[in-house]
Amino acid sequence: MWDVNEVVFSNDMWSVYEGLMRSDFTWFDEYEYTRAGEDPFDFPITCFWGTEDKKVKEYFVKGWEKFTTGAFTQHR
């Protein structure tokens, strides 16, 4: 689903990535957005996206711009 290379799941690499991936996906699954209707942040936001990412596209990252009145930059 998230285009994770199968090498990550090999016996040699899994011990390196398991904790990170479990924490990342747990946060992703359990996060509840609670700022609906509130003013945007007043600090800058910098976003990154990868040209070869099969899931996250530039227009997804561009959507973060509405969450700040500060500077917004994005990098690929």
- Which among 2, 13, 11 is positioned nearest to 54, based on CA atoms? 2
Angle at 73 between CA 68 and CA 74, to 5 degrees: 120
Whether the pTM exceeds 0.85: the reply is no
Question: Which sign does the torsion angle of CA 15, 53, 31, 68 carry?
Answer: positive
Question: Band of the pLDDT at 2, cuts 50, 70, 90?
Answer: low
Q: Is the pLDDT of residue 59 over 80?
A: yes
Average pLDDT over residues 39-46: 97
Q: What is the mean pLDDT of residues 11-38?
A: 89
